[in-house]
Amino acid sequence: MNILKLVLKEILYRKTGFFLAFLSVVIAVSCLSGSFTLLKIHDLRTDRIIAEKEEQTQKKMKKLEDDYRKIMKKLGFNLLILPKGQNIGDLYSNDYAAKYLPEKYVETLKNSKLMTLIRHLVPILQQKIKWTEKERTIILVGVKGEKADAGLKEENMFDPVTPGTLVVGYELHKSLGIKLNEKVILLGKSFTAVKLQEERGNKDDISIWINLKEAQEMLDKKGIINGIMALECYCPLPIIQNIRADVEKILPETQVIELSTDVVTRAEARGRAEEAAKDAILSEKAHRLKLRDEMESFTSILVPLVILACAIWVGFIFFSNVRDRMFEVGILRAMGCSSSSIMRLFLYKAGIIGFIGGVVGYFIGLFVGTVLGESFSSVLTYLDLGLFLWIVFLTPIVSCLASWVPSVIAAGQDPANILGRE
């Protein structure tokens, strides 16, 4: 006797019972599959939302850094690196440092790791002198093209002064009537005025800037400078406060003066903006995690209840099926069919229902979950092969367990009693 053939014929003969049991399995598996699909869509959407927010934050911070750089450029250099023994009072009273540094210190600092924190370096040599040709006391400033990190693509904050040219402070060109591109004699040497400064209201108004090497020659200070102007980076405040100690560690014979408290204010503002952006991302993560926990809690209650209800329903259908087929069971037993064969007759049917219902239910749940999740991606995007294999493996087992009691009852019947009643 071919039990599998009998099962298939019985399924075709009693289509309604098969369909109801099959429908129960499909509903249970669809709930499970749909719930997992919704959770997966939620996780993917969370990752996408967080990634988008992080990208937006990076763009905003990059723009903020660019704005900050422009602000800092307007503020000017905010660090002044001086010789260690230089008296600060003398610096302000004489308008220049009386002690000197080797010019090579600029290269030393430029090649240090600190250049990720300091964006611009300009060596200077300045001294108050008598401009004999104009009978004026001025501050002569020798400067060189700035030294910035080679990896940075930023415009110079301080344009180099080429040899043979000079830049004239506001009060000097205003009172002396110096015109743009005019030839000017300074300490016996001819220069061309290539730039006339606007009014600044400080010592720059009575200063003249020339090329550093020319200034060193004119002042007999070859290879030395008396200061390095620098710009602190747009970095967190604790780092800014440590820059002074770091510079003095790299250049032990120096001291660092911070020229503007605006730097701290700007850094604090940027730090607050960055923290606010991070808090927004963390808040979004927490919100999405809370939603997932709620979905997971609901799923953990709903799915087991649906599976239990469907298992009971499958058991009830098989009880009914056993009752309807009792005469058939009696004939099979009378023909010598064993109790185990009778059990297999029902369990095979339950296994077939579980297998087909599991496969169909998984894909229905996958589709419904995709639709409910409002995902516009392909359904196959959320296909979970591991979950599918577990469903295909476990659903027939659960279906067989649900039909186990009716199968045992059918297998334990005495054929004489069955046929006698009939």
According to the model, what pLDDT value does residue 71 have?
46
pLDDT greater than 90 at residue 194: yes
Which pLDDT band holds residue 196 (cuts at 50, 70, 90)?
very high
What is the Cα–Cα distance from 170 to 206, expressed in whole angstroms? 7
Output the pTM of the full model. 0.48
Mean pLDDT of 191-219: 90
Q: How far apart are the first and last CA of the chain?
A: 24
Q: How confident is the model at residue 151 (pLDDT cuts 50, 70, 90)?
A: very low
**Residue range 306-313: mean pLDDT, rounded:** 82
Average pLDDT over residues 303-330: 78
pLDDT digits (tens, 9 = 90+) for 53-93: 778 777 776 665 555 555 444 444 567 788 887 776 666 55
pLDDT at res. 375? 62
Task: Enter the DSSP assignment of 84.
Answer: T
Residue 422 has pLDDT above 90, yes or no: no
Locate all alpha helices (DSSP H) within 95-228, ordered by sequence.
105-110, 170-176, 212-218
Check: CB of residue 146 under 8 Å from CB of residue 121: yes
- Ranges 227-241, 246-260, 358-372: which has the least confidence: 227-241
Q: Are strands 183-186 and 207-211 parallel, antiparallel or unpaired?
A: unpaired
For residues 154-173, average pLDDT: 79
pLDDT in tens, 252-292: 888 877 765 555 555 555 666 667 777 777 888 888 888 88
pLDDT surpassing 70 at residue 126: yes
Q: Which pLDDT value is given to residue 214? A: 92
